[in-house]
Amino acid sequence: MDKSQRIVIVGAGVFGLSTALSLAQDGYHSITVLDRSMPPVPDGSSNDISRVIRFDYGDKVYAQLGKEAFDLWNTEEYAASFHPTPCVWTAETTSRPGGHGTAIVAKDKLKGGSDFIRKSQAILDELQLKWHPLRDVDALKERFPAVQGRPIGAGFEGFYNEAAGWADAGVAIAGLRDRCIAAGVAFVTGPHGQVSGLEHGETSTSTSTTQKKITALRTADGGRITGDRFILATGAWTASLIPSWNHMVATAQIVGFVRLTPAELEALKDLPIIFNLSTGFFSFPPHPDAGYLKVACHSFGYTLSSSSPSSSSSGGGVSSPPARPIPARANFIPQEGEQRLLAGLREILPDLAARGFEKTCLCWYNETPTGDFVFDYHPDYENLFVATGGTGHAFKFLPVIGKYIAGAFQRKLSPELTAKWKFHTEYREQAREDIFTGDSSRKGGDGSRGGPARRELTAQERDTLLSLTDALATRQARI
């Protein structure tokens, strides 16, 4: 591939920045990254006080990729952002009608969290990587005395891995940004960096397909950005820019922050990362500088749909986060979501649950039906490459993912990885709700999700979120 070509990357998150750096290190001379803000982008999914770093996976490819990344997180280059911390995985092995029964499920019938635990343990064994069993909740509390409640209780199943941790996402992205700048990558931000659409020119026809060629990107200020090859690393906004044919859907996940006193920060400093795979709830150790304890749900989430030229054939419109530049995420989650977070917090730190959250927010995933990333050329455009589908588990790969995306961009990946990260078109005639089932026991999940099925935000929830977003955008415009 001609390394003098003008490469334009839309999106300054993990995928966009890591790709820019890898291409620059590989000798590409003209690389420009566009986004609404200089990274870390305030409301981007790659920016927050913490992200889980682990290689516990029920999928061998991601386990190996995670271990490769974990080894780099433990180097001096990432010392400012990475915090080694054990990661605990728990699930309920009981069948609970309505959520409160006690009948034990046969081992070969286990789904969801228990299935994920078993698959992860098997992969770790195959790769000869250590993990530690937890026989019951008392064993968990004995190993991690900072846990004050009784997670799961009866029917407890779990294990932990000492080789894990969390990264300050904002610090890590800022470091990646600086490395890109040092490597010669250019940045365009503000209204001229906010992409609103694509322009295409002539088409090329092969024996089986007809493809258009992107000539420029339209921006929010009415401008145009030209280039030779374009890479969309636009996360949850991707389906609002291009036809995606139900291969992705943007979902909002719930996050809460509890303000801690200095004494509480000290008392809870040895709290591990804890996942409850049956409910989706997970929590971090306290962030010593921010002074918060962060909790969230890795669940099926909420959609925010609207009509769009790239709407799928299902007629449901495209789900997308609000697009206006804002200085921070809106302080909002659905009321039921706040109750779910509080219920999870009561299982590990009941005293803090009584205090409640100082702030909450929505974190946007770009989901794919199988949980696999999308690193591939768009079937409609010969010079448009798509790097998306983080599906809530991509950040941990920050140190290594760029070389894989750049490899796919240059068509150098192995056939196995090329197939795994393909842009699929076979979902186009199916309804979105039939593909993204909200049921982790079916094809649409990897068993790591828990909680209620995915749903659309109600009209009232939508109005509240957009009103708060508009107020933040207005404030940003006045600064």
Measured CA to CA, the distance from residue 169 to residue 418 in angstroms comes to 28
Tell the residue number behind the tokens 């490819």, with chain if given. 61
- Which DSSP letter does residue 287 get? B
Rounded to whole angstroms, the Cα distance separating 385 from 382 reads 8
DSSP string for residues in 144-175: -TT--S-SS-TTEEEEEESS-EEE-HHHHHHH
pLDDT tens per residue, range 441-474: 444 457 788 999 999 999 999 999 999 999 999 9
| CA–CA dist 118, 134 (Å, integer) | 13
pLDDT digits (tens, 9 = 90+) for 25-76: 999 999 999 999 999 999 999 999 999 999 999 999 999 999 999 999 999 9
Q: What is the pLDDT of residue 315?
A: 42
Give the model's pLDDT for residue 54. Answer: 98
- Residues with pLDDT less than 70, the chain: 94-112, 204-208, 307-316, 436-445, 479
Q: Output the pTM of the full model.
A: 0.93
Type of residue at 291: G
pLDDT of residue 208: 65
Q: Is 321 exposed, middle or buried (0-12, 13-18, 19+ CB in 10 A)?
A: buried
Enter the tokens of residue 204.
């090329």
Q: Which of 299, 305, 337, 309 is nearest to 445 (CA)?
A: 299
Check residue 193 and give its pLDDT: 97
Question: Over the stretch 336-345, which tens digit does the pLDDT of each residue have?
Answer: 999 999 999 9
Provide the pLDDT for residue 101. Answer: 35
Rounded to a whole number of angstroms, the distance between the first and last alpha carbons of the chain is 43
Which has the closest alpha carbon to 284: 51, 46, 66, 47?
51
Domains along the chain with CATH numbers: 6-469 (3.50.50.60)
Q: Identify the DSSP state of 92.
A: E
Closest CA to 322 of 306, 311, 338: 306
Per the CB < 8 A criterion, the answer to whether 160 and 87 are in contact is yes
So what's the pLDDT on residue 432? 72
